[in-house]
Amino acid sequence: MTSVKRKDSSTSTDETDSDEEVPSNTIGSDIPLKWYENHDHIGYDLDAKKILKPISAGKTDDIDEFLEKMENADYWRTVYDDLTGQNITLTNEDISLIQQVKNAKTNPDDQVYEPWLDTFSSEVMIHPIINTPESKASFIPSKWERLKVGKYLHAIKMGWIKPVPPKEDPLLSNNYDLWSDEPKTNLPRSNIPAPKLELPGHHESYNPSVEYLLDDAEVEALKTKMESDYDENERQTKTIFVPKKYSSLRQVPVYDQFVYERFQRCLDLYLCPRQKRLKANITNINDLIPDKPKPQDLHPYPIVQSLIYEGHKNMIRCLTCHSTGQWLASGSDDCTVRIWEIATTRCMNVFQFDKPVVSLQWNPVLSLLTVATGSQILMINPKLGENAKTLFTEEFVKQLSYDASNNDDCQWSKTSDETDKYIRLTITHSIPVRQIEWQARGDYLACVLIPRSDQSQSKSILIHHLSKGRSQYPFKQLKGAVQNVRFHPTKPIFIIATQHSIKIYHLLKQQLIKRLYVNTKWISSIDIHPLGDNILCGGYDSKINWFDLDLSVKPYETYRYHKRAVRCVRYHTKLPLFASTSDDGTCIVSHCSVYSDLLKNPLIVPVKILRGHQIINDLSILDCLFHPTQPWIFTSGADSTIRLFTN
Amino acid sequence: MQKKYKKGAAVNYISRNQALRKLQLTLSDFRRLCILKGIYPVEPKNRRKANRGRLANKTYYLAKDIRFLTHEPIIDKFRQMKSYLRRLTKARARKEKTREQALRNNRPFYKLDHVVRERYPSFADALRDLDDCLTLVFLFANFPLLKKLYEPRLRLCRRLSVEFLHYVIASGSLKKCFISIKGYYFQAEIRGEIITWIIPHKLGHKNPADVDFKIMATFLEFYTTLLGFVNYKLYSEHGLIYPPKLTFTPTTSSSTLCSEDEFSDEFLASLGLPIMKKPELNPVDKIEIDQEAAQLLGDTVADEDARKKEEEAKTLQKLFSKCKFFISREVPREMFAFAIRACGGDVSWDKTMCAGASYDVSDQSITHQLIDRPKLHEMAVNRVYVQPQWIFDSINARKLLPVDNYLPGSVLPPHLSPFVEEKEGDYVPPERFGQRKPDNDIEEQTTNKAPSIDLVNSNAYLNGSLKRKRTENEETAPKITTKEERKRAMRVESGQVQSVNVSNIVKRKANEERRLVEMTIPKKQKRLYDKIKFSQKKKRQEVDKLKRKRADYENNTIQDVTNDKKKLMKLS
């Protein structure tokens, strides 16, 4: 590495005075050195020959740099000169100068106090520099100015120019009584005042009682709740307020959300849509409850569970009670029908079949228990109760005659005492039976079938005439799957409940009387009031409709008090009671007084919620039945028990 | 036939964009206009009808409101402002100094006087809507002078807020006050209107994020105008000189650093000195008004109520009349000076703290000194040292509370909100009992507390005894029968006593009855019923939670105390 030692500080600044052997910078100070980076020369001499770069000028590799650093004692004062491309070792004078500049000191050698040259002297000269006399015009008032002033004067006199009114400060314009006169008419609109700010509660105090303070979990819960409530589409206005306790007033800092809250309030005032809302002013919540008699005043009705009839192995789908009120028959999914003595829960008889029993009913007149199982209807004489009646039934069945070949869809067959002890009559259909229903006089048996998909819906209702041994389809065409049918208790009227509607037909006139608009999506069961004017209808969507046939074809009332599907609705034959059972395991008994006076509405009051059945596979109480004479109710359920509730 | 969408909601409501087009304004100008004129969006009864069958999410204004806006002179001022700014930028770009100056001198400005009158046709309307106005004005009165906000307006806020406070002091209409974490809540009753405002705490200003000061400034523009008029009206009605003047002129001879006006303003802002009344006010007027009021209120009950109210107000106005206060440096001076003066007290502070100090610490007639530090080295014997909370609690209790709990360094009793009106079933902190009845003393407080505890105890005792009795009955009844039955029956195993919880049964029965009754509620009212039930349940849960927390805390403190005692015993 070549290095140049500066000899004198005075010559160092002057490039022309640099030493002979040093290659002077001929490229000029304006030219950046980096233009020569890629060349091996640097500028030209007077003979227009290239001045070659010093070999190791400029950048060397790191090892050389390091060795230089280690070996050269003057390394610290060696600097690289961009202009010449050489390393220069600074002299002591140079360094002291640099230090002076760094410390912002003046050079002690420099002349700080230069001599003062008084160019513009304060001394007045004897002779003026310019000695021309002043012009006449400077003494005479200007004519043009006079004319101009005259014009202004005229304008002022004429009132064309007015003095500039004193400027009003827009901030201080309110020093008068704005409301001195009578109030003006209201705004041309209905003003909805903004709700006032909520006043602070105890928890907002700087020193609240301890119970208002939140622990970490509660604060966390608040935050998560706020995050969960966050809606991107809506403006976020709420801030989390965490109560804090300060032991003294001087420790209370400024509330950092204060400005933000005020801002949100401002936004609320001009951005929030306002709406007038009528608020229900309810001082007492009991005002909402309609005034109805208390259940205690509406006795008798079933209250307590008294007996449990056990014996079935599977869920019990149907119940029927003998008209004397002594016997109860039940049909179950374990393909049996059991007959119970009501008072003792003793199982009197068991009939085993091949298929589950879907429906059964006692003949109102004869001692015939009618059972629907699979596609068969069986009439059983259980030989209970009065002997005379049993014998009469036997005789009646014996003298029955029927046309065996009258219908392909159903086959009647009699069984005598020799072949079977109990079963007297069998009607076999080609398709499964859903429900059977005796007419009140016990001669006609309506039967709901489940038609195959290729059959018309009109095949779903079949009426058997027992005394004549005949069967017939009463309807040529029917819409909708039939769910349930009922005979009117006194009149020749037939009620069909399809999935969505209830139709009432007159059997003699053979015409549709009424079609009821049902509120449910899928009717599960219907029942008709013993007086025949009211119909109850339960649905799988947990609704119960009460129809008053005299009043309207729309439901008089709809109840939604069951939480699950309603399976069965029943009236009591003698007492003003009805019950509904549901999959939620409850049977709700209601009082229903129906008045003969057409102006008086029926009085319906739920009086008791009966529980007891277990819920198995989302099924609980499947059927219920009132005792024919007593205020008792039987319920049969999916837990294969029958329960009797008495008053 | 009537064409569709020519009548009703479709023409009564107008969407925001339609309104902009109709008024030919930019959105920001429209917003400013809405703020100033108090026009707000409305929620149509049926959105689909208002939007001509479509269900887009829009903001709707009443078409009448927008039509009303079209005649607003401020809109013209907005347009003038727009062209002014255009001219100004042009002049500045061309470096036409004189033109620029001329333009600046003629900068258009609008006045909001007519808007105030329009929005509040009567003075009572204005007072009714003063809450937000005061809170915002007080916020900006305590704001540092930021570049974002127009400085003269901030000074105006300061002036107006001081004027309002002086009016409250002079009229003695302060009703309630409360120190919250958010700030100082004050409530005054002015001409029958309840007005509440918040003064923020002063220590440490944080520049808030997510706040658009432009909007706040527009609100402030309107609110300052409104408060100016309100102040003027209040002052003139109360027979005070507006702008307020002190009853004596403060001597400025000592200070040459500020002008006389500024000096007197500072004196005024200190709230320590009374302001001047109009000389011509004759006291006969007042009596007449009272008689008229009495005649109008022929009803004796109402009369009595009014008299009671008046009496209460008078006691509050004279609450601190016999006290002389001195505020130490660490106590927020303005708020406490205001509260004390509003209740008739004399107040002063250190001379170096603020102007307007009327007497010194060493004054012998000082009765109370507010300090907020645990200890003071030099304490005078003939005065009471209290923590500042005492002032607010006393005002809310309408009497001078015993100072025992508020001595310096002592643990303060909880500061409760006077705005809470306890309804049945609400949680009431036990400390509230002391404040609720204005006349009872400490002894009564203790007696008040005692029966409540007794009641609880006795209730617990009763319950326990009842339970015991019942169990006895159940046990004895089957015992007699079992012996006889054993002889008769063949296989009767000794049965276990059925544990019948009578209260449970009663409860279940009541529940069932309630359920049955609920079934009969028609659907329309069922929703409402369910909502009320739900809210009641939530409230009950909340109250239970608070009660539990309180009980836990009290148990802990009792345990701590006993532990400490034990430790002491051991040590001794």
Contacts of B550 in chain A (CB under 8 A): 209-211
Q: Which of A69, A102, A135 is the last residue of a domain?
A: A102
For residue A113, what are the CA distances in angstroms to A100, A108, A117?
Answer: 19, 12, 12
Residue B283 is assigned to a structural domain of this protein: no
Helix (H, G, I), strand (E, B) or coil at A112: coil
- Work out the pLDDT band at B61, boundaries 50, 70, 90: very high
B71-83 pLDDT, tens per residue? Answer: 899 999 999 999 9
Q: Give CA–CA dist A107/A99, Å, rounded.
A: 10
Q: Give CA–CA dist A164/A170, Å, rounded.
A: 17
Burial class (CB in 10 A: 0-12, 13-18, 19+), A394: middle
**Averaged over A315-321, what is the pLDDT?**
91
Helix (H, G, I), strand (E, B) or coil at B83: helix
Residues B354 and B450 in one domain: no
Q: Which helix (H) or strand (E) holds A41?
A: strand A41-44
Q: What is the pLDDT of residue A566?
A: 93
Q: Which domain holds residue A69?
A: 3-102
Q: What is the pLDDT of residue B133?
A: 94
The CATH code of the domain that includes B410 is: 3.40.50.10190
For residue B311, what are the CA distances in angstroms to A200, A630, B222, B282, B319?
Answer: 26, 72, 37, 23, 12
> How many domains in chain A?
2
Q: What is the ipTM of this complex?
A: 0.83
pLDDT of residue B17 exceeding 90, the answer is: yes
Q: Give CA–CA dist B520/B350, Å, rounded.
A: 72
Q: Is B210 on the interface with A (CB under 8 A)?
A: yes
Which of A298, A542, A558, A611 lies closest to B521 in space, CA to CA?
A: A558
Contacts of A167 in chain B (CB under 8 A): 105
pLDDT of residue B479 exceeding 60, the answer is: no
pLDDT of residue B389 exceeding 60, the answer is: yes
Q: Give CA–CA dist B220/B142, Å, rounded.
A: 14
Residue A590 is assigned to a structural domain of this protein: yes
Residue B106 is assigned to a structural domain of this protein: no
pLDDT of residue B292 exceeding 60, the answer is: no
Which of B187, B309, B412, B93 lies closest to A206 in space, CA to CA?
A: B412
**Averaged over A77-104, what is the pLDDT?**
83
Q: Is B144 on the interface with A (CB under 8 A)?
A: no
- The answer to whether the beta carbons of residues B415 and B179 sit under 8 Å apart is yes
Locate the DSSP E strands across A84-188: 86-89
The lowest-confidence range among A43-52, A280-289, B464-473 is: B464-473
Displacement of CA A330 from its chain's centroid (Å): 45
Q: Test B519 with A273 for CB contact under 8 angstroms.
A: no
Residues B419 and B447 in one domain: no
Choose between B361 and B439: higher pLDDT: B361
B554-566 pLDDT, tens per residue? Answer: 888 888 888 877 7
Residue B81 is assigned to a structural domain of this protein: no
Helix (H, G, I), strand (E, B) or coil at B152: helix
Choose between B511 and A22: higher pLDDT: B511
Q: Which domain holds residue B369?
A: 316-428
Q: Is B2 on the interface with A (CB under 8 A)?
A: no
Partners of residue A346 on adjacent β-strands: A341
Choose between B281 and B271: higher pLDDT: B271
Which of A356, A234, A331 lies closest to A623 in space, CA to CA?
A: A331
The alpha carbon of residue B519 is apart from the nearest alpha carbon of chain A, in Å, by 6
Q: Which of A102, A120, A144 is the last residue of a domain?
A: A102
Mutation choice for B interface testing from A225, A235, A254, A578 by most B CBs within 10 A: A254
Count Cβ atoms below 10 Å from residue A20 Cβ, excluding itself: 6
**Averaged over B373-400, what is the pLDDT?**
88
B136-167 pLDDT, tens per residue? Answer: 999 999 888 777 778 888 889 999 999 999 99
- The answer to whether the beta carbons of residues A528 and A486 sit under 8 Å apart is yes
What is the percentage of chain B residues whose pLDDT exceeds 90? 29
Average model confidence (pLDDT) across chain B = 81
The lowest-confidence range among A414-428, A632-646, B361-375 is: A414-428
Q: Test B139 with A176 for CB contact under 8 angstroms.
A: no
Residues B222 and B341 in one domain: no
- The answer to whether the beta carbons of residues A204 and B180 sit under 8 Å apart is yes
Residues B422 and B360 in one domain: yes
- Work out the pLDDT band at A406, boundaries 50, 70, 90: low
Q: Give CA–CA dist B190/B487, Å, rounded.
A: 88
Reading phi first (left if > 0) and then psi (alpha if -120 to 50, else beta), residue B59 is in: beta
- Work out the pLDDT band at A488, boundaries 50, 70, 90: very high
H helices, E strands: number in chain A: 7, 34
Task: Return the ∠ at Cα B295 (arms to B292 and B297), rounded to 5°.
Answer: 110
A180-194 pLDDT, tens per residue? Answer: 887 666 555 678 888
Q: What is the pLDDT of residue A187?
A: 58
The 3-state secondary structure of B399-467, one letter per residue: CCCCHHHHCCCCCCCCCCCCCCCCCCCCCCCCCHHHHHCCCCCHHHHHHHHHHHHHHHHHHHHHHHHHH
Q: What is the pLDDT of residue B473?
A: 45
- The answer to whether the beta carbons of residues B478 and B495 sit under 8 Å apart is yes
Helix (H, G, I), strand (E, B) or coil at B370: strand
Q: Give CA–CA dist A391/A579, Å, rounded.
A: 36
- Work out the pLDDT band at B518, boundaries 50, 70, 90: confident
Residues B403 and B462 in one domain: no
For residue B130, what are the CA distances in angstroms to B114, B136, B341, B561?
Answer: 17, 10, 22, 50
Q: Give CA–CA dist B379/B381, Å, rounded.
A: 6
CA-based nearest residue in chain A for residue B330: A250
- Work out the pLDDT band at A15, boundaries 50, 70, 90: very low
> How many domains in chain B?
5
CA-based nearest residue in chain B for residue A610: B512
**Averaged over B435-454, what is the pLDDT?**
41
Count Cβ atoms below 10 Å from residue A235 Cβ, excluding itself: 10
Which of B41, B44, B50 lies closest to B5 in space, CA to CA?
A: B50
The alpha carbon of residue B334 is apart from the nearest alpha carbon of chain A, in Å, by 14
Q: Test B516 with A608 for CB contact under 8 angstroms.
A: yes
Strand B368-370 relative to strand B324-327, pairing = parallel
What is the percentage of chain A residues whose pLDDT exceeds 70? 91
Q: Which of B152, B181, B521 sits opposite A290 (nearest CB)?
A: B521
Partners of residue A631 on adjacent β-strands: none
Q: What is the pLDDT of residue B435?
A: 53
Q: Is B544 on the interface with A (CB under 8 A)?
A: no
Q: What is the pLDDT of residue B442?
A: 40
Both tokens of residue A232? 């991107």
- The whole model's pTM is what? 0.68
**Averaged over A623-646, what is the pLDDT?**
91
- The answer to whether the beta carbons of residues A68 and A80 sit under 8 Å apart is no
Q: What is the pLDDT of residue B241?
A: 86
A243-288 pLDDT, tens per residue? Answer: 989 988 888 888 888 899 999 999 999 998 998 888 778 778 888 8
Residue with tokens 């068991």: A350
**Averaged over A206-220, what is the pLDDT?**
88
The lowest-confidence range among A196-205, A483-492, B427-436 is: B427-436
- Work out the pLDDT band at B290, boundaries 50, 70, 90: low
Residue A245 is assigned to a structural domain of this protein: no
Residue A169 is assigned to a structural domain of this protein: no
Residues B259 and B173 in one domain: yes
Locate the DSSP E strands across A492-602: 493-498, 501-506, 511-517, 523-528, 534-539, 544-548, 557-559, 566-571, 577-582, 586-593
Mutation choice for A interface testing from B66, B116, B143, B181 by most A CBs within 10 A: B181
Contacts of B156 in chain A (CB under 8 A): 171-172
Residues B338 and B423 in one domain: yes
The CATH code of the domain that includes A475 is: 2.130.10.10
- CB contacts < 8 A, A to B, total 265
Q: Give CA–CA dist B87/B96, Å, rounded.
A: 11
Q: Test A196 with B533 for CB contact under 8 angstroms.
A: no
Q: Is B233 on the interface with A (CB under 8 A)?
A: yes
Average model confidence (pLDDT) across chain A = 84
Q: Test A189 with B64 for CB contact under 8 angstroms.
A: yes
For residue B351, give the amino acid letter. K
- The answer to whether the beta carbons of residues A69 and A75 sit under 8 Å apart is yes
CB under 8 Å to B252, separation ≥6 — which residues?
Answer: B260, B263
- The answer to whether the beta carbons of residues A643 and A297 sit under 8 Å apart is no
B524-555 pLDDT, tens per residue? Answer: 888 889 988 999 999 999 999 889 988 888 88
Partners of residue A212 on adjacent β-strands: none
- The answer to whether the beta carbons of residues B165 and B142 sit under 8 Å apart is no
B305-340 pLDDT, tens per residue? Answer: 888 888 888 888 888 888 899 999 889 888 999 999
Residue B215 is assigned to a structural domain of this protein: yes
The alpha carbon of residue A232 is apart from the nearest alpha carbon of chain B, in Å, by 14
Locate the DSSP E strands across A315-421: 316-321, 327-332, 336-341, 346-352, 357-362, 369-373, 376-380, 410-414
Q: Give CA–CA dist B219/B214, Å, rounded.
A: 9
DSSP B502-524: HHHHHHHHHHHHHHHHHHTS-HH
**Averaged over A16-35, what is the pLDDT?**
61
Residues B130 and B220 in one domain: yes
Count Cβ atoms below 10 Å from residue A377 Cβ, excluding itself: 24
A52-82 pLDDT, tens per residue? Answer: 776 655 556 788 888 888 888 888 888 877 6
Residues B132 and B219 in one domain: yes
Contacts of B113 in chain A (CB under 8 A): 173-174, 178
Q: Give CA–CA dist A312/A640, Å, rounded.
A: 5
- The answer to whether the beta carbons of residues A444 and A487 sit under 8 Å apart is yes
Strand B384-386 relative to strand B368-370, pairing = parallel
The alpha carbon of residue A181 is apart from the nearest alpha carbon of chain B, in Å, by 9
pLDDT of residue A538 exceeding 90, the answer is: yes
Q: What is the pLDDT of residue B444?
A: 39
Q: Give CA–CA dist B372/B374, Å, rounded.
A: 7
For residue B115, give the amino acid letter. V
Which of A492, A501, A551 lies closest to A526 in space, CA to CA?
A: A501
Displacement of CA B340 from its chain's centroid (Å): 19
Q: Which of A102, A120, A143 is the last residue of a domain?
A: A102
A124-171 pLDDT, tens per residue? Answer: 888 888 888 889 988 999 999 999 999 999 999 999 988 888 877 777
The alpha carbon of residue A560 is apart from the nearest alpha carbon of chain B, in Å, by 8
Residue A34 is assigned to a structural domain of this protein: yes
pLDDT of residue A523 exceeding 70, the answer is: yes
pLDDT of residue B522 exceeding 80, the answer is: yes
For residue B123, give the amino acid letter. F
H helices, E strands: number in chain B: 21, 9
- Work out the pLDDT band at B437, boundaries 50, 70, 90: very low
For residue A84, what are the CA distances in angstroms to A89, A94, B521?
Answer: 13, 18, 106
pLDDT of residue A536 exceeding 50, the answer is: yes
- The answer to whether the beta carbons of residues A364 and A490 sit under 8 Å apart is no
Contacts of A558 in chain B (CB under 8 A): 523
